[in-house]
Each structure stands twice: as C-alpha cells, then as structure tokens.
Chains A and B, each alone.
Chain A
C-alpha cells in the first residue's frame, strides 16, 4: 500500500461523496399512483410466459409456448376459439381481456430457480407483465410463485407435480391446475389393486430431491393402504444418467413391483435400464414383475420408446380423450401445429383461459380481485370434466387419468392409452392433510 497520504481536499471530497451516498436513499421512496403492480393502463395487457427453452425440458417448454400462443390467439378472437367454446363460463368475448388486447412476453427458465426468477423479474419490472405463468419443474414453480407473491402479480403454475406447490409452499397469489403426487397415488392405487392384487412387494427408486420424496411418500402411502409391502426406497442422484447400478440390486431383492419416482430424462433412462435388465419378463414370487411410473408424460414416453409398452402411470390429460373440450383443443392445436398437444400444453392453455376468465368475471386485473374470482370457482368443459379451484390451497380438483403404454401404437403420437378415469372425489383430500401441512396461503398481495 504505497500512497496513503490524505490531503485536506481528498478528505473533503470523500466526505461529500459519502454524504451524497447517505442522502441517496431518502430520494427513492416508492411512489406509484397505480392501485396494484403493473396495472394495465393502455389498450393492451401483457402476460409473461416463463418456460424452459434451453436445458433438458426445452421440448416441453416449446410445447407450452405453442399452447400459450394459441390461447392468446383465441382470447383475441383469432382462430377457431378452441376450448373457449366449450368452457362452462361464457364471460370471455374473444375481444382480449376486458376489451384489452392480449400481448405476451416470453422468457427462458433454464429449469433453474435463479434463472427462472430473473426471467420473471424482468417480465414484471421491464415488460409490465400483470400475470406470470409457466414452469416445467416444481422447484422452478415454487421459486417463481414466491417471487410473484412478493411482487404482487398472479402466478398460474404450469407443469408442477410436487405436493409442496399447493402444500408447504402455497401462496395466495399462486394457482395450480395440474395434479399432484398425492393425486397420482390416490388414482393409481385402485387400478394397481385390480391389476396386480393386494399381495405385492414394491421397490422404489426415487430422484433424490423434494419432488421425488413427496412422490415416493404419496405412492408408498397409497399402495401400503392396499396391503402392499414396501421393501426398499433407494434415492438416486438427480445428475445420474445411468441407473444400472440401482437397477441391478432390484433383481435379487425379492420385490415384484418397481416404482420409478423419476421424471424427464431420469425417467426415460431408469425405465430403459429397467427394461434392459429384463425386469419386465421376470417372474418373482410366482407373479409377473411389474414396473410403475407414477407420473407419465407423452413427450417422455416418446423418449423411452418401446420400453413403455404395458407400463402404468398417471397423467393430467391426454389428447385421446373424447369429451368436447379435449376434442376442440386437439383440433385447434393439431390444425395449427400438425401434431397433438401434450399434457403440459393442455394445462398451460387452461391456466391462461382460467386467468382471463377470472379477470373478466372480477372486472379487474387487480390480483386480489382475480384471486377471489378463482377461489372456489367451479367449471367444466376444459377437458378434465367438472373441476373445482379450491379456495383453501388454490389447487384444482378434477379427474385424474390412469394410462398405460400402448402395445401397438398406430403413430408416433399414439403412445399411451387411457385405462381409467379416476373421479375427482377419489383424489380429493383435506386441505390440512399431513402431506400438505406446514405452509400458509397468507393474504393476497396486490403489490405497489
């Protein structure tokens, strides 16, 4: 440290700078005339679509974006209207939302909570988005939901399956249409009982993070209630790509059912490895060995190819459903893009319509008014039958599909077949169920 002489001028300058630094904060008191964050004042309203565009879930993100664009088109009166025609609420006119033309901004979550929050913040701070929606993993959904609560905008969750999103981490400004781990378990259990009986020994392989754990807990509880025995629960690292060293011990464990609590690339690889090791052709305790994948998605089933044949799981929605809503959605999506929509596309399309409808019914974009309109809202015609947006935890309660990998697919999209539609009543749980306890909704935050 060579030069340390302090001149009188230097001290004065430093003092002045420091003073200015101290004086700064008093200038910047938040002053805003708006009643809530990003109140749309012009002839347009901006929605923020925050989906993974890079990273392993990029294809799901791309499908979500397609559905969002379709929803915006329909809201603005373009296209054939899709599910707006079958939706039980008829407040949407096809003239935007409350007469304001819908515009949107997109961002990349990279499936990382930091990047997702940064992207959502830029939508709120820079683009003036009044609602954020999207996400393709629970970590990201929960992180962005928390941000929206703090910032005072509505968050309409996309694909997030963890119990925590509307359980431990629920927020007053956040809403979920997608189903969750508990519902998967509740829907699968009776089907598994019919198919495989009550005397089974299950072996769980679980992705070692929050979603995996809640999923494992839900499925184990549901199957143990049937009389099944859980012999082992093995945690696999999220970064694992090769599951052979986890599958090999299953062979001699005495288990006759393997439950794969994996999603995305993990699920594709663990299922591929399990089939490689001949588990599907194995006979244990005089019973056929079975594999169960609690959360299915068609995009992932495609990655697993022929390995999914005959393997059961649950899903939120599938394009082969024959109700009017699903048919209308598949028609308008398929005509525009040339292939059927995925469940991720479906859930985000519904979320966008539900938000727009709630705004129209509330007559305001104020998050508190919107939340009030969504709470306890009952609707039909969006492909899942009669649905309730429960006020206590902002979770949708609707039918859950149990699906099976198709033995003889007729096209590259025709990979799953619906085995059973489990009615909503059977997957409904109390808001204070132990698996969902620990969090509070808080009160809605309109921001500014």
Chain B
C-alpha cells in the first residue's frame, strides 16, 4: 500500500512538469493556432534563468591564499562572492542559497519579453502559413536557442540546488499513519504547478481579459469584427504561455540539473501529452499530463517491467496510440481542431 501511494505521488510529481509544459503549448495553440516546437526551448531558457541568477549572485572576487596550492602548484586563488563580503556571510549566503525561488521573480519579466519578441518578430508572420512551416521555423528557432545556451554554458548539466531548508525529505504519509518519504522540493514543485494551473484557469475564467481570449479561441473572426483588438490579447497570451514554460523550467532545476538539451527531451513527450489530452483543450492537457505521469511511474515498477519487459520505455506511446484510436480527438479534444 505504501509503495502504491508512493508511485501515485511520484506520478503526480512527474505529471506536474508535463502538465505545465503541455498547458503552455495548448495556450499557444488554442489562441494563435501555431504549433510551437520552440516551447521546450522556452522551458530550457527558464531553467537557465535560474542558473544565471545563481551565477550572478555568486559573482566572486579572488584572494590569494599562499597556504594552499592549486593544481599547478601555484598559490590557490580563493573565491569569495561579492554578496557575502557586502552583506556578511550569513545574509549573503542565504541569498545565494535561495537563488532558485528568487529566480521566479527574475524569470517572469525575461520570459514575457522573450515571448513578446518571439511572437511579434517571428510567429506573427506564420499565422497564415501551413502547420509544417510553423513546425520547421520554430524547430529551427529551438535549435538556435539551445545552441546559444550551449555556447555560453557548455553541454554538461549544471547543478542548481534548492535552498537547504527545502532540500531534505518529508514523511508525507505520517498523518495517515503510513511511511511515505518524499523529497520536499518535489512536493513544492507539485503545489507550485497546481497554483500556476489554477491561476491560469482563474485568469481565463474570471477576468474580462480571459473572457475575450476564450471568445477569441472559439471564434477569432467574430471577436475581431466586434472591434476588439484580439491580436494584442493573443500576443499577451503568448507571453504568458512563455512565462509558464519558463517558470516550470526555473522550478525544475533542483529536481534535475539543467543542460542545454533538456527542452528537446521534453518536447516530444509534451506533444504526446497535448494530443492525448486533445488539441486545444486546456483541461485536457492538464489531465493528460498527470495521467501520463502516473502511468509512467507505475510502468517503471519492477512488477511492471518483469511482466512486460520494456514497458517502461514505451508506455507513453502505447497510451497515446490506444487513446487516439478509441477517442479520435484525444481525451477532451474539440471537433475540427488540427484535423486537416
């Protein structure tokens, strides 16, 4: 039973990253009708916002310590972060320690700006072009973005730890009398994603802006004829979608150290999630994200892999095939979306 609940929890935790990325993809697709292959790259850039902030915080000056030697036998240069020398080791150290959560504030304006620039500078010109062209140009953009990141940060993963206070494990089963130990940061990630998803839905449901956007998603032309500048709103939605992907990336860095191709690793998977959920359906994307997370988690148990060898490698695709064959438009897809 403990093990069962642990896998459920793990599935929800895995699913929260899928759901966040799929949510952003669907937002872009639903509003602009653009298949954005660069969405994984936005996730990756978000993660590197956290890396960058961590590096900015730990900018250091060097002092020479003659008592120690470096690898060439010269006196060792000891690095001290400026923050620690200005604010004292405690306060400065604490800021560096909390750089990942602080990077949320840092990433939001950056991601929204990147989203705006991308939409106005590139995507805008592709609304009327075939989906294949959109895929190709955004794929090219994804390659360019990740190569730029690689040029500055290298190809190896970069460790970006969570604050010490959130680094340990918690026994989440204690209150129901069970022993379920789970890393604190992963639980934080789960609640963070629920918060973001809830926020997006509330924004679309309860604000006038959201209402207009939803109307635009349903019938763009009519809304335009009503004299509403729907393009501008869609641009803002693109910025928001980019920010969602970016925040998903920022918060993901302590879970797995980011590298330049992490976006590509998630790209195919997130497309499968979106399609299983149903193109253009926001609840579908979220539902499919969590569902596939849980299924993936169960497929990797020893029981599953001994019963069906290799099932852990293909589960996502098997599910995608089964869902698409039984429910033509995915779990909650809308009729007529992306079927031609």
Contacts and interface: CB of A to CB of B under 8 A. Distances in A.
Interface stretch (B26-34, B107-115, B130-138, B299-307): B299-307
Contacts of B72: 330-331, 334-335
Contact of A56 (B6, B168, B261, B297): B261
Contacts of A276: 167, 169, 183, 185-186, 255
A300 interface: yes
Contacts of B282: none
A278 B256 contact: no
Contacts of B296: 245
B154 A248 contact: no
Contact of B181 (A241, A265, A277, A306): A277
Interface string B264-300: 0110000000000000000000000000000011001
A306 B167 CA distance: 12
A276 B161 CA distance: 10
Given A245-B7, A278-B168, A340-B71, A239 B265 contact: yes
Q: B68, B71, B259: which has the most chain A beta carbons within 10 Å?
A: B71
A387 B80 CA distance: 43
Q: B3, B7, B68, B155: which has the most chain A beta carbons within 10 Å?
A: B155
B302 A410 contact: no
A234 B261 contact: no
A300 B265 CA distance: 19
A265 B261 CA distance: 11
Interface in A399-435: 410-411, 413-414
B14 interface: yes
B10 A248 contact: yes
A153 B259 CA distance: 36
Contacts of A414: 71
B90 interface: no
A302 B156 contact: yes
A88 interface: no
A299 B156 contact: yes
Interface residues of B, number: 47
Interface string A284-314: 0000000000000001101111110000000
Contact of A305 (B159, B185, B301): B159
A319 B70 CA distance: 11
Given A306-B161, A320-B71, A269 B257 contact: yes
A207 to B, nearest CB: 12
Nearest to B303: A249
B305 A234 contact: yes
Contacts of A302: 156, 159
A411 B186 contact: no
Contact of A269 (B10, B256, B297): B256
A265 B159 CA distance: 12
Interface in A217-241: 232, 234-237, 239, 241
B49 to A, nearest CB: 18
Contacts of B256: 241-242, 268-269, 272-273
B219 interface: no
A269 B256 CA distance: 6
A246 B312 CA distance: 10
A55 interface: yes
B302 A249 contact: yes
A277 B183 CA distance: 5
A248 B158 CA distance: 24
B270 to A, nearest CB: 13
Interface string A329-372: 01100110001100000000000000000000000000000000
Contact of A334 (B71, B182, B183, B255): B71
The size class of the interface chain A forms with chain B is 35 or more
Interface string B42-86: 000000000000000000000000001011100010000000000
B298 to A, nearest CB: 8
Given A56-B259, A245-B296, A300-B156, A319 B14 contact: no
A244 interface: yes
A414 B69 CA distance: 11
Contacts of B10: 244-245, 248
A274 to B, nearest CB: 10
Contact of B68 (A232, A273, A410): A410
A57 interface: yes
Interface in A58-77: 58-59
B156 A248 contact: no
A246 B300 CA distance: 6
Contacts of B89: none
A55 B159 CA distance: 18
B262 interface: yes
A299 B301 CA distance: 31
B157 interface: yes
A330 B71 CA distance: 8
B313 interface: yes
A307 B162 CA distance: 12
B312 A303 contact: no
Contacts of A305: 159, 161, 257
Contact of B76 (A237, A320, A331, A411): A411
Contacts of B335: none
A234 B262 contact: no
A56 B7 CA distance: 29
B259 A265 contact: yes
Contacts of A410: 68, 76
Contacts of A235: 305, 312
A57 to B, nearest CB: 7
A306 B159 contact: yes
Nearest to A300: B156
B36 to A, nearest CB: 21
A271 to B, nearest CB: 10
A307 B71 contact: no
Interface in B179-200: 179, 181-183, 185-186
14 contacts: A58-B150, A242-B256, A244-B255, A249-B6, A251-B6, A265-B259, A272-B159, A276-B186, A277-B183, A303-B158, A306-B161, A320-B71, A330-B71, A410-B68
Given A245-B11, A320-B71, 12 more contacts: A56-B155, A244-B186, A244-B255, A245-B7, A245-B296, A248-B297, A249-B301, A268-B157, A303-B157, A330-B72, A331-B72, A411-B76
Q: Ordered nearest first, which 3 A-B pairs have the shortest CB separation?
A: A305-B159, A58-B155, A278-B169
